[in-house]
Amino acid sequence: MNDIARCSCGAVSVSVSAEPYAVVACHCSDCRRRTGAPFGVGVYFDRAQVSISGATGCFERPAAEGRKVRNYFCTTCGGPVYWRTDLHPDGVGVALGMFDEPERYTPTRSVFERHRSTWCRLDASIPGHLEGRNSPPSR
């Protein structure tokens, strides 16, 4: 499986050569702010299966327990493209909406649903969690 994600202007591209190990809808405030949407959807790949081209900037923010999250964006259009975390150093999260065919990917779980907008409903077959993936189910 090969796929390509691109920023708005096309200057940055992320090529993937394998299926993702997770597709996660996240309702936390950091993902809402990163996307400007009521929730973010990240498609997660092993780092070895990802190739990135183009100039990116990086915004590093603190995460839980002293770890860091690094959000990478296009230096031309500012579009958020991918991120890496200290918690999962061998993984790369790619913004779902950056793929040419985002419908190829269906969320495998939804996290931080405690913070989900009340009008936002995902398919009931997608496992939901009140906080992170190891927290109690939300439904």
Question: Distance (Å, rounded) from C-alpha 130 to C-alpha 110?
Answer: 9
Neighbours of 105 (CB within 10 A): 18
Name all domains of the chain by residue range, CATH numbers in brackets. Answer: 3-19+37-100 (2.170.150.70)
SS3 sequence, 3-69?
Answer: EEEECCCCCCEEEECCCCCEEEEECCHHHHHHHCCCCEEEEEEEHHHEEEECCEEEEEEECHHHCEE
pLDDT at 26: 95
pLDDT at 136: 83
Neighbours of 78 (CB within 10 A): 11
pLDDT at 80: 93
Question: Distance (Å, rounded) from C-alpha 87 to C-alpha 85?
Answer: 5
Q: Enumerate residues 6+ apart whose C-beta is below 8 A from 104.
A: 3
pLDDT at 115: 94
Instruction: Tell me the average confidence (pLDDT) per consecutive run of 10 residues in the chain, 139 residues long.
Output: 95 98 95 92 98 98 88 96 94 96 95 94 93 85
pLDDT at 65: 76
Tell me the three state secondary structure of residue 91. Answer: strand
